[in-house]
Amino acid sequence: MILKKSLLFPTIYLLFFAVIGFAQRREMHPKNEFRAVWIATVVNIDWPKNSWDSVEKQKADFIQVLDTYQKLNYNAVVVQIRSVGDALYPTILAPWSRYLTGSEGKAPAGNFDPLEWMIEESHGRGFEFHAWMNPYRATMDLKTENLSIDHDYNKHRDWMIEYGGKYYYNPALPEVQKHLTAIVEEVVIKYDIDAVHFDDYFYPYKIKGLDFNDTASYQKYGNGLSLEDFRRSNVTAFVKNISFGIKKLKPWVQFGISPFGVWRNKSVDPKGSDTQSGQTNYDDLFADPMEWMNNNWIDYIIPQLYWSIDHKTASYAKLMKWWSENVPNNTALYIGNSSYKIRSDSDKHWNNMYEITNQIDLTRNYPNVQGNGFFSAKWFINKNQDVVKYLKENQYKYPALPLPVPNFKKTLTETLLINSITKDSASYYITFKKPNLPTQVRYIVVYGAKNSAKIKTNDVTQIIEKIAVTEENNEFNIEVPAYKMIGKAAFAFTYIDYYANESPETVIDLETETQTK
């Protein structure tokens, strides 16, 4: 049955939650919530639209993605910068991606660095930038004649294992782990990213009748472990090394992973979820998110719950409950949602335009779930506009700020000190003295109200702007369009540090403290 909005819906909704066994929180417009979208570059899924497009066209298309999701009040982009042993940035460790320039190893025109530019454009619109990498997938097919001479397949053939029509890096080899770690660390050093992000591709998804041929490395490095435990230990060691490397270089850069949505089925492990998934993280992909979290190696996890709420074998509702009960307090939990399935799946629940928005409502009923991520960007760009409209008018009507991940939480006590505030017919111009802080400032958040007594920074309706900081002469300078302050006579300002902590507010009365240019 396709669920329709009606007077009966609230009753059905409450009964549903009662059956599931929760109804802990119902906050329609939370101030703090992670709202991310994956921007996939592999085979030009989201961006660039075509590998032969000019740099100018690619820039315009990326800005369209950012502007679309900024209007929808999203606050994070997860951009794929490495998908098949390639790179969307200049590096000697991998060739330029064919999905960027049409030919692997070919640089874009004009010394264009897409990653540096994308980070700047994203931060300028208030987005966190999560650099998404696929570490183990080396190719999308077996057409090795199309690979650059600088691709690792050509430089290190012994690192590769063929499986299911693709080549993969062998996770067991120490030299592979060292190389992949160096790739991640180079990005952390060179670029102003907010997070490193891995998705669900560790050991490849199993194909019936095919074996992943890592026999030689198992015999060499197995150390008496079963083959399954050996493979899990390889992934575990890699995740641990990446985590330590990131924190050693830039402690504020998050490390997040979006694994497949099922850890283990209850049928094989009583601690598993009430699902009948054909493949699982632990048993098939040899990835153990529980160990990563328990050892504090990842900052956030975003399991891909790409099923409908009432799916027969892998229910979104049941999996949401399972993850909320099994993620430790040291890891932020977000949920991955499949906007790509809207009206495009054999499960007819996806014909219901409210499936995604109902999933968001469900997410908000778990206090330890801090938001959602959506795969992928193109599905809300000139598509599914009825869903977009409903989302904009309801669940995402107002902006939200991501919370700091658990290990980054800190109480800020310093406030912004205003040097000057001036106004002309178009804008307010505010300069602040740079706070004396042990961390850097990423954004300034501007709030507005009818008067200073009405300012409430926990009220999302008062958020006017989230502005990336620009520093000049030890000052921060921002500009706020005057039209956004119509009917308001007071400002409040906070700052957000690189760890996503928000400071106490500074409140000013516009009538008494503003000079006219």
Work out the mean pLDDT of the chain and round it to a whole number.
Answer: 94
Q: Which residue has the tokens 């809207």?
A: 342
CA–CA distance, 466 with 127 (Å, rounded to integer):
9
Q: Which residue has the tokens 């025109």?
A: 109
CA dihedral 479, 482, 487, 491 (to 10 degrees): 20
Number of domains in the chain: 2
Report the pLDDT averaged over residues 286-307: 98
CA–CA distance, 235 with 202 (Å, rounded to integer):
7
CATH number, residue 72: 3.20.20.80
Provide the pLDDT confidence category of residue 158 given band limits of 50, 70 and 90: very high
Provide the pLDDT confidence category of residue 471 given band limits of 50, 70 and 90: confident
Least confident residue range of 90-94, 183-187, 262-266, 431-435: 431-435
Report the pLDDT averaged over residues 237-260: 98
Same domain assignment for residues 308 and 442 = no
- Eight-state DSSP code of residue 313: S
Least confident residue range of 148-157, 164-173, 390-399, 425-434: 425-434
| Backbone torsion region of residue 113, taken as left when φ is above 0, otherwise alpha when ψ lies between -120 and 50, otherwise beta | beta
Residue 468 covered by a domain: yes
Is the dihedral angle over the CA atoms 346, 352, 356, 359 positive or is it negative? negative
Residues in contact with 110: Cβ distance below 8 Å, sequence separation at least 6, in sequence order: 55
Same domain assignment for residues 305 and 425 = no
CA neighbor of 488 nearest in space, from 392, 459, 126, 418: 459
Residue 142 covered by a domain: no
Residue 10 covered by a domain: no
Same domain assignment for residues 212 and 223 = yes
Same domain assignment for residues 415 and 331 = no
The domain containing residue 480 runs over which residues? 410-516
393-425 tens-digit pLDDT: 999 999 999 999 999 999 999 999 999 999 999
22-39 tens-digit pLDDT: 445 667 899 999 999 999
Same domain assignment for residues 399 and 414 = no
CA–CA distance, 358 with 164 (Å, rounded to integer):
36
Write down which residue in 354, 387, 407 finishes a domain: 407
Helix/strand/coil for 353: coil
Compute CA 79 distance to the chain's CA centroid, rounded to the nearest angstrom: 8
Residue 486 covered by a domain: yes
Residue 159 covered by a domain: no
Q: What pLDDT, on the 0 to 100 scale, is given for residue 473?
A: 87
Among residues of the chain, what percentage have pLDDT more than 90?
Answer: 91
CA neighbor of 480 nearest in space, from 419, 423, 442, 435: 423
Same domain assignment for residues 437 and 486 = yes
CA–CA distance, 50 with 100 (Å, rounded to integer):
8
Report the pLDDT averaged over residues 281-290: 98
Provide the pLDDT confidence category of residue 76 given band limits of 50, 70 and 90: very high
Contact 434, 474 (CB under 8 A): yes
Same domain assignment for residues 96 and 178 = yes
82-129 tens-digit pLDDT: 999 999 999 999 999 999 999 999 999 999 999 999 999 999 999 999
Examine the pLDDT at 15 and tell me if it is beyond 60.
no
221: number of CA atoms within 13 Å, CB side?
Answer: 16
Residue 165 covered by a domain: no
Same domain assignment for residues 372 and 445 = no
CATH number, residue 439: 2.60.40.10
Same domain assignment for residues 233 and 316 = yes
Examine the pLDDT at 8 and tell me if it is beyond 70.
no
